Amino acid sequence: MNMPKEQFTEKAKRDRFVRLVTIRTNAVLEKLRVLGHCANKSAYYYNDQDIEKVFGEIDDQLRDVKAKFKIRTKRTFTLE
């Protein structure tokens, strides 16, 4: 979508967000469903440490991305 900047109205930004977040969220959810296939103990060998590493990394990344969506207040610096 090659719109000049002045055409990026709130509605256009919202429409773009809804479109992209829907596509990207569904892609993440599908990847998680596929990851779940690895839980089949008759086809794969893994231990609790492996699972902790995998889900620890997923949790860390989720926390980082979620923080990007939170409103941050600007802090002012003071030497005192």
Task: Please tell me the predicted confidence (pLDDT) of residue 78.
Answer: 84
DSSP classification of residue 75: P
Task: Please tell me the predicted confidence (pLDDT) of residue 66.
Answer: 95
44-54 burial, b for 16+ CB within 10 Å, e for fewer?
eeeeeeeeeee
Task: Please tell me the predicted confidence (pLDDT) of residue 8.
Answer: 79
Task: Please tell me the predicted confidence (pLDDT) of residue 6.
Answer: 58
pLDDT in tens, the chain (80 residues): 565 665 679 999 999 999 999 999 999 999 999 999 999 999 999 999 999 999 999 999 999 999 999 977 777 888 88
pTM of the shown model: 0.74
Q: What is the identity of the amino acid at 40?
A: N
